[in-house]
Amino acid sequence: MHPKHLSINDFTYHLPVEKIALHPLEKRDQSKLLIYKNGEIIEDIYKNIADHLPENSLLIFNNTKVIPARILFKKQTGGTIEIFCLEPFEENAEYTTVMSKTGSAKWKCMIGGASKWKKDGLTKKIKINNQEVELTATLKQKLTDAYVTEFSWQPSHYSFSEIIEQVGEIPLPPYIKRDVEENDKERYQTIYAEHKGSVAAPTAGLHFTPEVFSSLENKNIKTDFVTLHVGAGTFKPVKSPTMQEHEMHAEWLDVTVSTIENILDNLSKNIIAVGTTSLRTIESLYWMGVKTFSNNNCNLQDLEIKQWEVYDELSKQNIDANIALASLITWMKKNEQQKLFIKTQILIAPGYQFKIAIALITNFHQPGSTLLLLVAAITKDWRRIYEYALKNDFRFLSYGDGCLISPLSHKRGT
């Protein structure tokens, strides 16, 4: 069956509200770990995850960093306007460039109370390094699903990164129904978070500590990092009866040529994705390689992965992963691209054949979500895994526990 025809009602389950973790555990690596391998389920904790991974594996992490994307402005009348920054709205939307911009920056935003916000700018005074800064937000344009907001500030020498760090709040997921606490600034980030841009954490990585990384190294398990900036669309519910009517959210990935070379060098071993975002990134790289193999003269925009094309025209090209990644690397070097900064809209659902990863480390996801569809693509046993977790006191969603699932439905070549 083509994934377009899947009914989301087949990928739901009852999640009692008391099973949703509202706070993280005091120690990250004490979170419970469900290990599913070849139909068997056992339990452990993340501190011991290296014991359950094969030697000479390569773990791929997402090193995006959550920005304090929620900004509250008070109107002169006393009402509150909430601006939620989704992604840059600039000609050069590369996050490093936008975050370092001084003076002004445009962002695509969701706005709470937009109907009450006229064309007048909203202002807010903050302090940076004991200097008063006036921040102004101006509504510039209405889009289909959001608004374009221009932020400007005086003095103008501060970067947007400095501004938002001072004025914004960490945007906890909508199912964590409590106020943001001081602890969230640190705990809703992975310890290896580096590149600012996400509005949601790559939560599978929240459980990893320096001690866990040491245990991986002791077992000769290598690590590498990709960047995929997680958007608010990750929480977008599937409201249509079948997936055909659902528009998958697109997200920006940022991956260096050296990381792709590392993945290529380790294809014959075990490549394990830490989180659904890492998995979507490395699988997208395969399909980008397929595109360059078919047309080495394609441009960067041509490499974007659309929602259904991996099941349609691209699926007809049975190209080995080694060839696809080597072709992508050749294309990057030919075009003097040291890294790829590009969008992917890939939807991984039952019927998908994984090309790169052989296992996934992930949290437990919402009923009826595209993330649960991804888990169902890995194993038809997803419901038994989730039922076990519910019955055995696992904590669910972003601040909850997680699982290691292997092997994935895999097809590296023809």
DSSP per residue, 329-368: HHHHHHTT-SEEEEEE-----TT--BSS-SEEEEE---TT
Same domain, 129 and 195: no
Backbone phi, psi, residue 247, to 5°: -95, 115
Same domain, 82 and 121: yes
Same domain, 240 and 144: no
Q: Which CA distances in Å does 240 have to 198, 245, 257, 311?
A: 26, 6, 38, 20
pLDDT at 412 over 60: no
pLDDT at 303 over 60: yes
Element of type H or E holding 87: strand 80-88
Position 178 in a domain: no
Same domain, 50 and 196: yes
Asked if 277 contacts 62 with a C-beta cutoff of 8 angstroms, the reply is yes
pLDDT at 396 over 70: yes
End residue of a domain, out of 167, 198, 230: 167
Residue 5 and residue 245: Cα distance in Å, rounded? 9
Same domain, 199 and 287: yes
Predicted local confidence at residue 91, as pLDDT: 78
Same domain, 35 and 106: no
Predicted local confidence at residue 409, as pLDDT: 59
Position 202 in a domain: yes
State mean pLDDT over 90-106. 89
Same domain, 232 and 375: yes
pLDDT at 260 over 70: yes
| Between 233 and 252, the higher pLDDT residue | 252
Same domain, 74 and 56: no
End residue of a domain, out of 133, 167, 201: 167
Position 285 in a domain: yes
| Residue 133 domain boundaries | 69-167
CATH code of the domain in which 8 resides = 3.40.1780.10
What is the distance, to the nearest Å, from the Cα of residue 162 to the centroid of all Cα atoms in its chain? 23
End residue of a domain, out of 110, 136, 167: 167
Burial 281-292 (b: 16+ CB within 10 A, else e): bbbbbbbbbbbb
Q: Which residues, at least 6 apart from 245, have a Cβ–Cβ distance to it below 8 Å?
A: none
Looking up tokens 């509250």 gives: 72
State mean pLDDT over 82-102. 89
Residue 141 and residue 110: Cα distance in Å, rounded? 12
pLDDT at 43 over 60: yes
Q: What is the mean pLDDT of the chain?
A: 93
Please name the residue ranges forming H helices in 65-149.
95-99
> With the C-alpha atoms ordered 260, 262, 265, 268, is the resulting torsion angle positive or negative?
negative
**pLDDT tens profile 399-408:** 999 999 997 7
State mean pLDDT over 66-77. 89
pLDDT at 136 over 90: yes
pLDDT at 414 over 50: no
Count: domains in the chain: 2
Residue 212 and residue 360: Cα distance in Å, rounded? 17
Predicted local confidence at residue 410, as pLDDT: 56
Residue 402 structure tokens: 């997680």
In this structure, of 108-117, 144-153, 321-330, 393-402, the range with the lowest mean pLDDT score is 108-117
Predicted local confidence at residue 411, as pLDDT: 53
Same domain, 50 and 75: no
Same domain, 372 and 293: yes
Position 172 in a domain: no
Same domain, 150 and 106: yes
Residue 289 and residue 312: Cα distance in Å, rounded? 16
Same domain, 275 and 240: yes
Confidence class for position 66, pLDDT limits 50, 70, 90: very high
